[in-house]
Amino acid sequence: MKKRFKKIYIEITNCCNRSCSFCPPTRRPPGFMSVTHFRHILREIRPWTDYIYLHVKGEPLLHPQLNQILAAAAGEKIYVNLTTNGTLLARQQETLLRYPIRQINISLHSFESGGTDAFNDYIHSAVSFARTFSPKHGITAFRLWNFPPEAKPALSCIGHSSGSNADSPENRRSGAGSASQLNNRCSSAGSAGQLNDHCNGAGSASQLNNRCSSAGSAGQLNDYCNGAGSADSNFSGSNERILNMLSSAFGFQGRLAPELYTQNDARLAEKIFLSFDREFQWPSLDAPDLGAQGSCFGLKSHLAILWDGTVVPCCLDGDGILALGNIFTQSFEEILHSPKSCRIAEGFQKHTAVEALCRRCGYRTRFRVPETLR
Ligand code: SF4
Ligand code: SF4
């Protein structure tokens, strides 16, 4: 039987070892979802979906119990999709190959500093992983989602799945990271004694390697964030360079350019794709009000659960502003039937954004408003 949600996003951590310029640091406390909580979520949502996506904010490959997370998902026979910035693929390769994963999205636009050698190593490592993972284990989808708005029309709207199912906005990351932005990322202690000191350093760009360097459970965390290279250099990997490297690595015949792939992704090899999209803006209460007219698929085809159990209508609410409830203290069904959830869902059915954040969400404007409502 078809389940209500095409997918549910689960943020297993909101800590990250990168600092992409367009990705505002979350205002929530940093933390990691426990395996016990993850299992609880799976049991709650299993009747509602067959697909989970391990990402909202943060870098999922940082999770120190990633193997147990993936094992739990395999136990529930749920399809796992994972989006990563790609810097820790080599380190987590054994785990990623051991458990079933339907698709891994690698956001190449999130590596913007680190010097030429580090950049080359990063791309080579991502390519090497893709070749090992696909086609045998699952799909690899490289993402280059940092083109200016005029570069191509919206390709990857929710529900408009392309060949590689690059259909979600959850990781629209792009742009060059800046040293000054490192300070705010994962800078405070986690709650409830959970991995309190995770990601607690990084006062400057040059300290990137020290992020997440202390405490953590079972002494497992120390090395996790060391793979991203130094951020001292001003080097910015150009898209052209990435495209040349991918083209050459996969012997791609033809030209890789966003304007040529407006309806589908470029197929680089069997089950290996490249998706282009324009730079994404996270919705913000500080953004201009775009009006109430419009809709999106939040609460219809998907929703998201943050690491602390907060349920939100979409994967773009990285600050939990639209919190509908908490799955650690309420049943999933109760949250779905709450007055707030119903109000938002019914509003979208009538092409009306009822929440202040939704009125300021540029992503919503990608969906066509029926002529009768214009
Ligand atoms: S966009 Fe992704 S890789 Fe970049 S800082 Fe945000 S969570 Fe990290
Ligand atoms: S309109 Fe609201 S629910 Fe939809 S993506 Fe934007 S913030 Fe999320």
* 58 CA: nearest ligand 1 atom: 7
Q: Is the pTM of this model over 0.85?
A: no
* 364 CA: nearest ligand 2 atom: 1
Q: Give residue 174 CA to ligand 1 midpoint distance, Å.
A: 8
> Whole-number mean pLDDT of the chain?
78
Confidence bin at 303 (pLDDT 50/70/90): very high
* 14 CA: nearest ligand 1 atom: 7
In angstroms, rounded to a whole number, what is the distance separating the alpha carbons of residues 12 and 82? 11
pLDDT value, residue 150: 61
Pocket test for ligand 1, best of 21, 59, 62, 109 (most atoms within 8 A of CB): 59
Q: Give residue 364 CA to ligand 2 midpoint distance, Å.
A: 6
Per-range mean pLDDT, top range of 35-39, 163-167, 235-239, 252-256: 35-39
Q: Give residue 161 CA to ligand 2 midpoint distance, Å.
A: 18
Pair type for strands 272-278 and 266-269: antiparallel
Cα 354 to its chain centre, rounded Å, is 25
The rounded percent of the chain whose pLDDT value lies above 70 is: 73
Q: Give residue 110 CA to ligand 1 midpoint distance, Å.
A: 7
Q: Give residue 180 CA to ligand 1 midpoint distance, Å.
A: 15
Q: Give residue 254 CA to ligand 1 midpoint distance, Å.
A: 31
Per residue in 8-18, pLDDT tens?
Answer: 999 999 999 98
pLDDT value, residue 116: 72
Q: 304 or 113, which is more confident?
A: 304
Among protein residues, the one with the nearest Cα to ligand 2's atom 1 is 358
pLDDT value, residue 192: 31
pLDDT value, residue 254: 87
The torsion defined by the Cα of 60, 144, 123 and 26, in degrees rounded to 10, comes to -30
Nearest CA to 364 out of 158, 149, 83, 147 is that of 158
Averaged pLDDT, 263-291: 90
Per residue in 138-186, pLDDT tens?
Answer: 999 999 988 776 654 444 433 223 333 334 433 333 322 332 232 233 3
Confidence bin at 369 (pLDDT 50/70/90): low
Among protein residues, the one with the nearest Cα to ligand 2's atom 3 is 298
Q: Is the pLDDT of residue 61 over 60?
A: yes
The rounded percent of the chain whose pLDDT value lies above 90 is: 58
Q: Give residue 166 CA to ligand 1 midpoint distance, Å.
A: 17
* 357 CA: nearest ligand 2 atom: 7
Among protein residues, the one with the nearest Cα to ligand 2's atom 7 is 358
Nearest CA to 75 out of 46, 48, 32, 104 is that of 46
pLDDT value, residue 113: 56
Per residue in 80-107, pLDDT tens?
Answer: 999 999 999 999 999 999 999 999 999 9
Range 91-120 burial, b when 16+ CB lie within 10 A, else e = bbbebbeebebbbbbbbbbbbbbbeeebbe
Per residue in 201-218, pLDDT tens?
Answer: 222 333 223 333 333 333
* 17 CA: nearest ligand 1 atom: 8
Name the least confident of 278-282, 302-306, 323-327: 278-282
pLDDT value, residue 19: 86
Ligand 2 contact, 298 CB (< 6 A): yes
Name the least confident of 130-139, 327-336, 365-374: 365-374
pLDDT value, residue 358: 96
pLDDT value, residue 148: 74
Pocket test for ligand 1, best of 85, 281, 307 (most atoms within 8 A of CB): 85
pLDDT value, residue 218: 30
